[in-house]
Chain A
């Protein structure tokens, strides 16, 4: 086994007396898509927040390519290769769809501190952003203001920003939450495409079991903040404990 691209070692966070994430140690390989499941409040999003740096860990470490990320800010981790799409849509509401994506492309191009050239003249940034919009099928909404977009399209844009960032580690937090049956496949196809590339690591928090079954190479289960199960989908889903305690009814209709 090659050395993992991302690993958490005893990662823990406490809020007062409550342990939200409890000593989670887990390693992720390049090219692997790991689904993270567990009941509401199990600490899935908090686990993401610890990895991407939104909240500091009480104990434990996050390692990217073997390098300790403790004390690094969100933007430093982003530039190091950890990218994140959010569960609650988190965009730039009064800017256009194109501008949202272009900001990400511009960040990757390291052009942020450029005070002199005209942003609109950077054709290469605009073209790259348009290419992303075409992939997520938002090109038709290119010049719309984000706050005017439908919920489904905002979710797509949320994913588009992460795809534009193109980090080594993709973290999707319920990417299809609240999307209609027609819209969700667009996003899921994109994730499948990324997985096919086999050079990206994908962490996916998802509730829909059919999605997990088609996409995941591996499942980890969080319960009360602790790692409750870890393994290939068939094994994890078949384990009685997991089925009864954490999947509950969702598995019954499978």
Chain B
């Protein structure tokens, strides 16, 4: 049963299985285990980023294709939901329509980019995606009549997903309101998308992608049309990234260039894939969890540590909360140095 759900791709390490189980458990019960606006927000962000990073892993870790347009596809999904909700009204039909349209547009755009650039060397694709992503980001901030420009769009989701909607009193001290439903929509959607991708990478198609990553020359010589597979992987990955964007927009009830399209998010995705372990899918879960937690809590943790050792020379300055980005950088360098195959790669080896 578990084997079928995970598409036969077992964690293959007791430690890894325990960590994944713990993450799943915490995310599944986050509103009850860690009640609070900020903690639940962090949990939702982790769910969305797991899907986003996994879809990037499909491209980079399995297909060996470097893309810088992943946030663009993420943004297309988010704006799809926002625009549909703004213009069609606050309904589930608008959410579904916006999400599907976003995924469709993302896949179509990926198809065009892929068809034009994946025939040539893979590096060319990376450059084209960078150019297109920058162009789209500029376009979104300029077309303020449609997209709200730099301010983004705030929109209303169905009443059932808002904090004002109550469907019960309290359960374990947690208010049963629409925000809780909204979280579980994000959680369930993310879980399904992740399991779907796990399915894809373990299918015959996934094996061909790995073969192309390893040796595209030979993959062609045993009869696989390499371009076709690369384009298919790009479209699939783009569509899933767009759906992750839709979930994120539904959760935030807001879209803006900074939350969905920025280059910073692209770099976050890269870090998450590398820290977690490329070409493993489970690496996306661990990478996203570690990095989102670090981004949200490292500052607090360091603030606490800094004040705990007050009085000592130099150390408090080093651990000052304002230096958290420096330490995040150090953590990243160390993890790449010590775990070149990522956390998952390291755990599976031992």
Evaluate contact between A103 and B207: CB separation under 8 angstroms. Answer: yes
Evaluate contact between A90 and B205: CB separation under 8 angstroms. Answer: no
Evaluate contact between A78 and B205: CB separation under 8 angstroms. Answer: no
Q: For residues 225 through 280 of chain B, which have their beta carbon under 8 Å from a beta carbon of chain A?
A: 225-226, 228-229, 232, 236
B299-317 toward A: CB 8 Å interface, digit per residue (1/0)? 0000000000000000000
Residue of A nearest to B203 (CB): A115
In the complex, what distance in Å separates the CA atom of A76 from the CA atom of B220?
A: 9
Residues of A within 8 A of B215 (CB): 90-93
B221 interface contact, C-beta 8 A = yes
Known A-B contacts A113-B205, A120-B202; the reply to A108 vs B223 at CB < 8 A is: yes
Evaluate contact between A116 and B203: CB separation under 8 angstroms. Answer: yes
A112 interface contact, C-beta 8 A = yes
A106-124 toward B: CB 8 Å interface, digit per residue (1/0)? 1110011111111111100
Residues of B within 8 A of A76 (CB): 225
Q: Which of A74, A99, A165 contacts B220 (CB 8 A)?
A: A74
Evaluate contact between A95 and B210: CB separation under 8 angstroms. Answer: yes
In the complex, what distance in Å separates the CA atom of A78 from the CA atom of B226?
A: 13
Residue of A nearest to B199 (CB): A116
Known A-B contacts A92-B211, A118-B7, A118-B8; the reply to A165 vs B204 at CB < 8 A is: no
In the complex, what distance in Å separates the CA atom of A52 from the CA atom of B217?
A: 12
Q: How far is the CB of B5 from chain A (nearest CB, A)?
A: 11
Evaluate contact between B221 and A84: CB separation under 8 angstroms. Answer: yes
Q: How far is the CB of B278 from chain A (nearest CB, A)?
A: 12
Known A-B contacts A75-B224, A84-B221, A161-B222; the reply to A117 vs B214 at CB < 8 A is: no
Evaluate contact between B222 and A114: CB separation under 8 angstroms. Answer: no
A: interface residue count bin: 35 or more
In the complex, what distance in Å separates the CA atom of A117 from the CA atom of B205?
A: 9
A40 interface contact, C-beta 8 A = no
Q: How far is the CB of B335 from chain A (nearest CB, A)?
A: 21
A55-78 toward B: CB 8 Å interface, digit per residue (1/0)? 000000000000000000111101
B218 interface contact, C-beta 8 A = yes
A79 interface contact, C-beta 8 A = yes
Evaluate contact between A114 and B205: CB separation under 8 angstroms. Answer: yes
In the complex, what distance in Å separates the CA atom of A75 from the CA atom of B210?
A: 17
Q: How far is the CB of B304 from chain A (nearest CB, A)?
A: 43
Known A-B contacts A91-B218, A92-B214, A93-B214; the reply to A119 vs B207 at CB < 8 A is: yes
In the complex, what distance in Å separates the CA atom of A104 from the CA atom of B208?
A: 10
Evaluate contact between A52 and B221: CB separation under 8 angstroms. Answer: yes
A3 interface contact, C-beta 8 A = no
B: interface residue count bin: 20 to 34
Residues of A within 8 A of B225 (CB): 73, 75-76
A94 interface contact, C-beta 8 A = yes
Residue of B nearest to A112 (CB): B208
Residues of A within 8 A of B236 (CB): 115
Evaluate contact between B220 and A114: CB separation under 8 angstroms. Answer: no
Q: For residues 77 through 101 of chain A, which have their beta carbon under 8 Å from a beta carbon of chain B?
A: 78-79, 84, 86, 90-95, 99
Q: Which of B8, B219, B228 contacts A121 (CB 8 A)?
A: B8
Evaluate contact between B223 and A107: CB separation under 8 angstroms. Answer: yes
Residues of B within 8 A of A90 (CB): 215, 217-218, 221
Q: For residues 26 through 56 of chain A, which have their beta carbon under 8 Å from a beta carbon of chain B?
A: 52, 54
Residues of A within 8 A of B226 (CB): 75
B206 interface contact, C-beta 8 A = yes
Residues of A within 8 A of B203 (CB): 114-119
In the complex, what distance in Å separates the CA atom of A167 from the CA atom of B296?
A: 57
Q: How far is the CB of B216 from chain A (nearest CB, A)?
A: 10
Q: How far is the CB of B273 from chain A (nearest CB, A)?
A: 17
Known A-B contacts A92-B211, A92-B214; the reply to A103 vs B222 at CB < 8 A is: yes
Q: How far is the CB of A133 from chain B (nearest CB, A)?
A: 16
In the complex, what distance in Å separates the CA atom of A23 from the CA atom of B202?
A: 47
Evaluate contact between B214 and A94: CB separation under 8 angstroms. Answer: yes
B132 interface contact, C-beta 8 A = no
In the complex, what distance in Å separates the CA atom of A94 from the CA atom of B228?
A: 22
Give the 7 A-B CB pairs with smallest separation, nearest first.
Answer: A92-B214, A78-B223, A107-B223, A111-B204, A114-B204, A74-B220, A115-B205
13 contacts between A and B (CB under 8 A): A78-B222, A84-B221, A91-B215, A92-B219, A106-B204, A112-B204, A112-B224, A115-B199, A116-B200, A118-B203, A119-B204, A119-B206, A119-B207
Kindly list 5 other residue pairs between chains A and B, CB separation below 8 angstroms, not including A75-B226, A95-B214, A119-B207.
A74-B221, A92-B210, A107-B222, A113-B204, A165-B222
